[in-house]
Amino acid sequence: RLQPTHPIALAPVQAPEPTVDGFVTQFLRNLNNGRGVALSTSTANDRYFALAATVRDYLMARWLEDVRRQRTIQSKGVAYLSAEYLLGRQLDNNLLATGLTDIADEALVACGLDLDDVRAMEVEPGLGNGGLGRLAACFIDSLATLGVPSVGYGIRYEYGIFRQTFVDGQQVEQADSWLALGSPWEFPHPEAARTVSFGGHTETYDDGGVTRTRWVPAWNVLAVPYNYMVPGYHNGRVNTLRLWSAQATQGFDLRVFNAGDYQEAVRAQTYAENISKVLYPEDSTPQGKELRLQQQYFFVAASISDFVNLILPADFDLANLPDRVIFQLNDTHPVIGVPELMRVLVDEKGLEWDAAWQITQQCFAYTCHTLLPEALEVWPADLLGRLLPRHLEIIYRINDEFLEAVRERFGDDSERIRRMSIVSPDGAIRMAYLATVAGSKVNGVAELHSQLLREKVLPDFDEFYPGKFTNVTNGVTPRRFVKLANPGLSRLITDTIGAGWLTDLDRLRELEEYADDAEFRSAFRAVKSANKRVLARTLAERDGLTVADDHLLDVMVKRLHEYKRQTLKLLHIITEYDAIVSGRVTPDQVTPRTFVFGAKAAPGYAMAKRIIHLINAVGSVVNDDPRVEGRLKVLFPPNYNVTLAERIVPAADLSEQISLAGKEASGTGNMKFALNGALTIGTDDGANVEIRELVGDDNFFLFGMAEPEVADLQARGYHPIDFVRADENLSRALELISSGAFSGGDASVFEPVVSNLTHHDPFMALADYTDYIAAQKRVDALYADQDAWTRAAILNVARCGFFSSDRSMRDYIDRIWHTPPIL
Ligand code: CBF
């Protein structure tokens, strides 16, 4: 190979001049050369692409240098395996990371353009369903900001989470074609594609006197990597997010095509490409389930192959793999990676089983994000065996050896063996058990969650593996969720305590003393009001909704799930409404509130969709009733996403975190709201517990049963109807729904919701109703004293620095990964 001789080719890659002139030059160059247009003929999309390319140009030198350094140093890094990354928009985040926002602003003005118009073109990549995917996005941001070598691995879904619209108040899902106009942030590398195999059978063969097993797959797909930059904040570091896209190994069949059978000609291609087509397809059908397992194996196999065969040097001794990488399993979705690494080490690299198992056990760690049994994935053995026959064999062997060890320790306790077996009595593979057996550590995502995980979900494993279980409480990135989302508050904080807090969020504590400073309180209130006006503008433009800026903004935004109890929130709204319209209180006795909902329901989750319908129905009645005008308002903007969250969160006064205790693993919305000065009304669930401990009881509205009380009521027998009989307000609210008051007199429309609540109420909303209403009265009382409210809001901000995802990452590094930053 020729050696470079030109001095420019020998020098490190140069970033453009970080000046307005430098930016303008680069921007126009990208517009002309990258888009093939002149400024005068460019479209808004051209300008957005050129701007994104310009920001990329500033990041490029750092990225290339980081990749080079990581390869040279070969120190231990994190390979974060996650089926979801809910990234949110990239432009502002990347401008912020490079410190170029003001320069870009000025440069665009100099080109006769407005940064706001250009940024409005960006479509957010919705490659996640909710908390878990957003957490992954926060974590990779923090890893880059801490300078920890890491790669995020995932799937480049062609269609992300569906776009939600409402038709007659009911959710309608549309495909999210986020790539329709292309994405300027990705770098495809087809030349680095990995082959991922499926199906077929296994066979034994003689390898120089040793009998070995190999997999003879039936079909392959190509996994094509798309790289994304993950810049650290103001530290010159850029890590990589590598998302895989599925492609057929061969294009369409030209012979069949020429014979006129066009559908058959592309069948194999379509089949292969379906793997990365959609985020979490409907899995209530067998086909859907199979596709989901294909997705999981697809991205995990590609990622392991990428790491082992491309990132590691060719002469790397795999016995040292644990010193070089930790594969973090983000929930059960990537757990098929465990038998895959075993297969690679034993079948492909020729290691002995025991040595390979030693390595594997040190290379994986598992984060569990749930307590709901239905969310702990199990795969029917016949499906797994059909798709991944070698992996099923490997899992059986891991299980046999594991159960042998259990027997050695506890004797032939068949009940225990049955409970702990990775293979369930009906032959399904329990992926959480496999992850627990294989993982060097297992963590929950909030103190309470980790405790319940140990005590209730995996107690036998906790006993068997002392020290394996740990906790890392979730966190959120303050760059996106404070600095970008809430520039007013960020400015106020910096003016008050100085710079530096964005990467050292504990410093927010320094704000505590200002809670008693009247001038600071009034500045803080002014920021909140300004944020409400920004939200009002956003909702007016986006959805034609109006927001009054003198209302208490009471917000519940999260996925729609019965355990999160949006119905409880609705019952409160109906109770307030009923109190006014029945004349039991006068409107002026009610705190003016705007209730904001944001929620998507899984397309196949009928009850959740009916609850969405009910929220909209209650909203229409309340909003159209002149008797409550100026007092109560219900807003439900469709298609809640990260971009909208960045407007809603900073404007909120009250954050609704009202899940049944023991059901929400952590929550991260709760942290975002508290950090932006909203007070929480919440149960003792997930990370609410830690928020309350930190902010103090006086600055948090606690209500409802704690987890042991929930368990106790369950054990005694829960009869929701008893709670209906005991509280007249509750029975009136339910009666209003069943009478058809929100469905034009048609009592049948919401009958399933009421009947489910009064007869089953699996998440005990009715049991917590009375206490919830009492807590809401405390909210009203405090809000009536604006000074006291603002003081509490400031203390929430000051005391929630713990919830930075930088801290979560440090905890992972100390307790699980042992991957020091590269300085
Ligand atoms: O840990 C991140 C989040 O994950 C979930 O969204 C999940 O999908 N399992 C949980 O429901 C949240 O409680 C948790 O914060």
pLDDT in tens, 578-633: 999 999 999 999 999 999 999 999 999 999 999 999 999 999 999 999 999 999 99
Average pLDDT over residues 218-241: 97
From the candidates 559, 593, 600, 613, which is the catalytic residue? 559
Same fold, 77-89+124-189+223-243+297-473+811-817 and 478-803: yes
* Cβ count near 512 (within 10 Å): 13
| CB distance 192 to 151 below 8 Å | no
Decide if pLDDT at 739 tops 70.
yes
Topology given in CATH for the domain delimited by 77-89+124-189+223-243+297-473+811-817: Rossmann fold (3.40.50)
Tell me the two tokens of residue 402. Answer: 């594991």
Q: What is the pLDDT of residue 80?
A: 98
DSSP letters of 104-173? HHHHHHHTT--HHHHHTTPPP-EES-SHHHHHHHHHHHHHHHHT--EEEEEE--SB-SPEEEEETTEEEE
Is residue 5 packed enough to be buried (19+ CB in 10 Å), middle (13-18) or exposed (0-12)?
exposed
Q: What is the pLDDT of residue 286?
A: 65
Domain regions of the chain by residue span? 1-73+94-122, 77-89+124-189+223-243+297-473+811-817, 478-803
Average pLDDT over residues 713-742: 98
| Binding site membership of 686 for ligand 1 (Cβ less than 6 Å) | yes
Ligand 1 centroid, distance to 52 Cα (angstroms): 31
Q: How confident is the model at residue 554 (pLDDT cuts 50, 70, 90)?
A: very high
Average pLDDT over residues 540-546: 97
| Binding site membership of 471 for ligand 1 (Cβ less than 6 Å) | no
Ligand 1 centroid, distance to 85 Cα (angstroms): 13
Residues 661, 562: Cα–Cα separation, whole Å: 13
Residues 194, 292: Cα–Cα separation, whole Å: 19
Burial 150-164 (b: 16+ CB within 10 A, else e): bbbbbbbbbbbbbbb
Q: How confident is the model at residue 288 (pLDDT cuts 50, 70, 90)?
A: confident
Residues 816, 470: Cα–Cα separation, whole Å: 9
Phi then psi dihedrals of residue 584, to 5 deg: -75, -25
| Binding site membership of 474 for ligand 1 (Cβ less than 6 Å) | yes
Task: With CA atoms as reference, report the closest residue to 575 among 588, 584, 566.
Answer: 584
| CB distance 523 to 492 below 8 Å | yes
With vertex at residue 89, the alpha carbon angle to CA 87 and CA 91, rounded to the nearest 5 degrees, is 125
Q: 753 to each of 146, 578, 600, 664, how far by Cα in Å? A: 47, 19, 17, 21
Residues with Cβ within 8 Å of residue 142, at least 6 apart in sequence:
475, 477, 804, 805, 806, 808, 809
Grouping H, G, I as helix, E, B as strand and the rest as coil, residue 228 is strand
- Tens of pLDDT, residues 400-424: 999 999 999 999 999 999 999 999 9
Decide if pLDDT at 281 tops 60.
no
Angle between helices 751-759 and 606-624 (to 10 degrees): 110
Tell me the two tokens of residue 435. Answer: 């992850």
| CB distance 154 to 79 below 8 Å | no
Supply the DSSP symbol for 278: B
| Binding site membership of 492 for ligand 1 (Cβ less than 6 Å) | no
Residues with Cβ within 8 Å of residue 598, at least 6 apart in sequence:
555, 556, 557, 558, 636, 637, 640, 644, 645, 648
DSSP letters of 309-357? IIIS-TT--GGGGGGTEEEEEESSTTTTHHHHHHHIIIIIT---HHHHH
Q: What is the pLDDT of residue 28?
A: 98
Average pLDDT over residues 451-470: 98
From the candidates 62, 564, 565, 692, which is the catalytic residue? 564
| Binding site membership of 667 for ligand 1 (Cβ less than 6 Å) | yes
Residues 351, 336: Cα–Cα separation, whole Å: 19
Q: Specify the CATH number of the domain 478-803.
A: 3.40.50.2000
Percent of the chain with pLDDT over 90: 93
Q: What is the pLDDT of residue 460?
A: 98
Q: How confident is the model at residue 285 (pLDDT cuts 50, 70, 90)?
A: low
Q: What is the pLDDT of residue 482?
A: 98
| Binding site membership of 84 for ligand 1 (Cβ less than 6 Å) | no
Residue type, 215: W
Q: Active site includes 532?
A: no
Q: Active site includes 456?
A: no
Residues recorded for the chain: 823
| CB distance 798 to 512 below 8 Å | yes
Q: What is the pLDDT of residue 711?
A: 98
Q: Active site includes 483?
A: no
- Tens of pLDDT, residues 499-542: 999 999 999 999 999 999 999 999 999 999 999 999 999 999 99
The ligand 1 atom at the shortest distance from the C-alpha of residue 369 is 9
DSSP letters of 674-700? HHTTPEEEE-S-TTHHHHHHHH-GGGS
Residues with Cβ within 8 Å of residue 53, at least 6 apart in sequence:
30, 34, 184
Decide if pLDDT at 355 tops 60.
yes
Tell me the two tokens of residue 127. Answer: 């490659």
Average pLDDT over residues 334-355: 98
Is residue 697 packed enough to be buried (19+ CB in 10 Å), middle (13-18) or exposed (0-12)?
exposed
User: Token match 């990371």: residue?
Assistant: 97
Q: Where is average pLDDT lowest: 15-19, 501-505, 713-717?
A: 15-19
Q: How confident is the model at residue 655 (pLDDT cuts 50, 70, 90)?
A: very high
Mean pLDDT for the chain overall: 96
Grouping H, G, I as helix, E, B as strand and the rest as coil, residue 718 is coil
Ligand 1 centroid, distance to 78 Cα (angstroms): 21
Residues with Cβ within 8 Å of residue 438, at least 6 apart in sequence:
335, 338, 360, 361, 364, 366, 398
Q: What is the pLDDT of residue 57?
A: 97
Task: With CA atoms as reference, report the closest residue to 306 among 413, 211, 191.
Answer: 191
Decide if pLDDT at 717 tops 80.
yes
Q: What is the pLDDT of residue 283?
A: 55
- Tens of pLDDT, residues 301-315: 999 999 999 999 999
Q: What is the pLDDT of residue 506?
A: 98
Which of 668, 671, 805 is the pocket-test mutation for ligand 1 (most atoms within 8 Å of CB)? 668
| CB distance 420 to 460 below 8 Å | yes
Decide if pLDDT at 454 tops 60.
yes
3-state helix, strand, coil in the chain (%, to 5): 55, 15, 30
Ligand 1 centroid, distance to 300 Cα (angstroms): 21
- Structural element, H or E, at residue 580: helix 566-581
Q: 773 to each of 444, 572, 575, 586, how far by Cα in Å? A: 31, 7, 9, 18
Is residue 646 packed enough to be buried (19+ CB in 10 Å), middle (13-18) or exposed (0-12)?
buried
Q: How confident is the model at residue 375 (pLDDT cuts 50, 70, 90)?
A: confident
With vertex at residue 782, the alpha carbon angle to CA 780 and CA 786, rounded to the nearest 5 degrees, is 110
Average pLDDT over residues 109-134: 96
Q: Where is average pLDDT lowest: 264-273, 450-459, 511-520?
A: 264-273
